Amino acid sequence: MSFKGAVFASTAVIALIPAGQAFAQDSDAPTEDQADENEVAAENKVVITATKTGVSLQDTAAAISLIDSSSIGAGGIENAGDLSAEVPNLSVGDQFGVNRTFIRGIGLTSIDLGADGAVAFLQNGAINSRPAAQLSGFYDIAQIEVLRGPQGTTYGRGATGGVINIVTARPTEYFEGYARASYGNYNAVTLEGAVGGPIAGDKLMFRVAGKYDRRDGYGTNLFTGNPIDNRDAYAVRGSLQSNITPDLELLIVADHFKEDDFNYAFHYFGPTVTPEAQLPGPLLGGDTINDYYAARGEPVNYRNLYSDEDAINDRKGTSVTGILTLDKGAFTVTSTTAYRKFERFNRDDLDVSDINAFGRNDYTEDSESFSQEVSFTADLGALSLLGGAMYFEEDLFGEVRVPTVNQAQYLNLLLGTNLPPDLYDDGFYLQRGTVKTKAVGVYGEGTIEITPDLSFTAGARYNWEKRTGLGRFSFDSQGIDIPTDKSGDWDAITPKFVLEYQTPGGTLLYGKVTKGFKSGVVNIGSVNDVIDPENVWSYEIGVRGETADRTFGYSAAAFYYDYTNLQVGYVNENSIVETINAASARNYGVEVEATIRPEENTTLRIFGTYLNAKYTDFCNGYYAAGDPSRRQFPACDSNPALSDLSGNRLANAPEFTVAIFADHRIELGDNGSIDLAADLNFQDDVFFTEFNNRDAQQSAFAMANASITYRSPDDSWSVAVWGKNITDEFVLANTIIAAPLYGSVSVGSLRPPRTYGVTLGYDF
């Protein structure tokens, strides 16, 4: 057995052996001490709001991870990218400043305008539909809930991979708040705080929170001298809660964020099928970052750029959410209304050189969305019901504008033509237009207690969605200038069936069958045909439990996915971004987690995952087709010009991951306490494209984080020293293979380098 296999196997054994012990617990009535312990355990149960059922984490028949407020902030979970180290089978990267989150190998693969993710991002239960808007960062958060696997019944569209729900901190009936100030390497300054309390006793309460985040770049554009991957952002949020009557509550949350910097840079990682000397920049007399370092006899630092264009990043967003809840105990009704506006502009350099070789990529996106959902729960004794309806609409404008300066001169050099050198200097590669989306969903499910310990749930959702696109695609050097107006509408029914059994020892066993649906796509200004929806049938069994004294908690899940029409984006042989439906794929795997508390002040957590995610039927164009120096694939029977990629692994789907977390508190009596925390996360090899080549691959790596926190005797103030990626691992977050027009170079984004700092905190 390989080392990776041995680590995974040992993790599974650690997690599951005590689970068997829990099955053997005595079913007699609990003693008085046990009853006290059960009462304490009940008080510590955390409700998962994303399930819409009001059920605690321990009693939820699903693969769920919960991150509480203590883990969120400087030195911990600061943004979506940090979730990958905390949650099993979750991978996060970015491309063009767009969030690319994958759960169990399913996520956002398209790089085209208007693309949606397969993991639904929510804030307080309201959808945040734009993947780029999901990178704004976290602050004043109560908890983050991650539901792994298709959530077709309760969320419908865009939740084939899973759901991430960010729950913001609520106003309280008493005056309280906090302030945090952090300083770290790269001159990183983070200021965060919140204050709230009563306006009119427990009838009307408020909370105001904000965050300012600034740091120098992780790299430098060595040609312009400007930073790369720096950050200059701020965000504010206001919340107002009114307890109108004892059983009627209104919560209003409004927030705004803005970022203006050189973040989300387009890093160059080297050539693939075209020698570097024949890339557009070098062929026209320019230099790449490889040339820059070679001239100095130094190793290349790919955190830097050598480009005539800076990585401009300018984005802002505003949202308002209103949640009205009627709670009659056995019956609840919740109305969630949300409005969101988001705008961004990103610029990167596709020719990866210090001259203007038709590589400046200007990317604009403006969206405005509205959603309304009404849901209810009813407890009828042996029967409980959940149901609801939702409406969503979005107006999205997008533009990709690439000036084709010097393209004619490049073609003359490459092909031996005699075009006027400035022929295309006033031309563009241009995708531009709008897409209007309307979606409706109606869902319901019921759970019946067959016996006090055995229950069965059945439910379904009806989904309908329509997208209408108006736009134009122009590529002057190819003589293309065509309208791209098109529309499509789709509907689907997504059922759900769950069987649950609660053992006398308190262990929950479950088996579930669900269907997920991701709507079709109309990309903006794209020559694409309308893209069909993707569908998945998911089969999962799991176990979850905790000993009565809470010294040991465990969970495990095994799953199998059957995917059809999986949506995959790439750059085709004509250097045009395209999205297609891969015929089919199948994913299966195992996740195990264990939490051990050997003593009151010590907690150990470990998780391990195995994932086998492969295409079962997929034909696509290959950028290295016919190159004898590169790996080749069999020709497809349906079209010999395409490569048969069946058997290749899905992108962003590591086979193994293992993580270990350790926390220990040292009590200092009247002098306060010291918290020690450390974690180590191992991820197996991962590919970023369907071709599974090394030029778009991250090799296996391990990343470590640690912190030491002193807290005052009354816990009112604290000082923490922390470090992330302590061993300074160089890790790719994502890569793509660029257009053939640019030599099919490997470009992408990076995870942060080693960062460290100190945080002062005050709670009142």
Most confident listed range (92-101, 156-165, 205-214): 205-214
Asked if 654 and 84 touch (Cβ cutoff 8 Å), the reply is: no
Contacts (Cβ under 8 Å, ≥6 apart) of 698: 683, 685, 686, 688, 731, 732
Between residues 356 and 115, which one has the greater pLDDT?
Answer: 356
Between residues 508 and 570, which one has the greater pLDDT?
Answer: 508
Average pLDDT on 277-282 reads 95
Which of 131-145, 576-590, 720-734 is least confident? 576-590
512 pLDDT more than 60:
yes
pLDDT for residue 97: 87
Which of 24-33, 72-81, 113-122 is least confident? 24-33
25 pLDDT more than 60:
no
pLDDT for residue 44: 53
Which of 10-24, 211-225, 491-505 is least confident? 10-24
Q: How far apart are CA 574 and CA 93, in angstroms?
A: 26
Strand order in the sheet with 732-737: 267-270, 746-750, 732-737
pLDDT for residue 23: 31
Contacts (Cβ under 8 Å, ≥6 apart) of 626: 632
pLDDT for residue 10: 37
pLDDT for residue 18: 34
37 pLDDT more than 60:
no
Q: pLDDT digit string (tens) for 364-408?
A: 999 999 999 999 999 999 999 999 999 999 999 999 999 999 999
180 pLDDT more than 80:
yes
682 pLDDT more than 70:
yes
pLDDT for residue 6: 38
Closest CA to 762 of 179, 196, 210, 193: 179
pLDDT for residue 24: 33
User: What DSSP character marks residue 473?
Assistant: E
Q: How far apart are CA 747 and CA 682, in angstroms?
A: 24
Distances from the Cα of 83 to the Cαs of 49, 79, 91, 684, in angstroms? Answer: 19, 7, 8, 17
Tell me, what CATH number does 204's domain have?
2.40.170.20
Mean pLDDT of the chain: 90
Q: pLDDT digit string (tens) for 525-563?
A: 888 889 899 899 999 999 999 998 889 999 999 999 999
Q: pLDDT digit string (tens) for 222-248?
A: 999 999 999 999 999 999 999 999 999
Closest CA to 361 of 47, 710, 738, 761: 738
Between residues 229 and 60, which one has the greater pLDDT?
Answer: 229
Q: What confidence category does residue 45 fall into, taking pLDDT thresholds of 50, 70 and 90?
A: low
Average pLDDT on 139-159 reads 88
pLDDT for residue 13: 32
Percent of the chain past pLDDT 90, that is, above it, reads 75
User: What DSSP character marks residue 300?
Assistant: -
Q: How far apart are CA 730 and CA 96, in angstroms?
A: 20
Average pLDDT on 107-115 reads 78
Asked if 430 and 360 touch (Cβ cutoff 8 Å), the reply is: no
Between residues 138 and 13, which one has the greater pLDDT?
Answer: 138
336 pLDDT more than 50:
yes
Q: What confidence category does residue 28 fall into, taking pLDDT thresholds of 50, 70 and 90?
A: very low
- Domain holding 449, by residue range, is 3-763
Between residues 189 and 529, which one has the greater pLDDT?
Answer: 189
Average pLDDT on 412-425 reads 93
- Angle (nearest 5°) at CA 317 between 165 and 394: 75
Average pLDDT on 564-574 reads 78
Distances from the Cα of 591 to the Cαs of 46, 149, 579, 690, 702, in angstroms? Answer: 21, 12, 31, 24, 19
What's the domain count of the chain?
1
Q: pLDDT digit string (tens) for 715-757?
A: 999 999 999 999 999 999 999 898 888 999 999 999 999 999 9
pLDDT for residue 36: 46
The total of other beta-carbon atoms located within 10 Å of residue 1's CB is 8
Torsion from C-alpha of 99, 102, 107, 109, nearest 10 degrees: 70
Percent of the chain past pLDDT 70, that is, above it, reads 94
Handedness of CA 123, 127, 128, 131 (dihedral sign): positive
List phi, psi (to 5°) of 23.
-65, -30
Distances from the Cα of 190 to the Cαs of 186, 211, 215, 528, in angstroms? Answer: 12, 7, 8, 43
Q: How far apart are CA 111 and CA 571, in angstroms?
A: 9
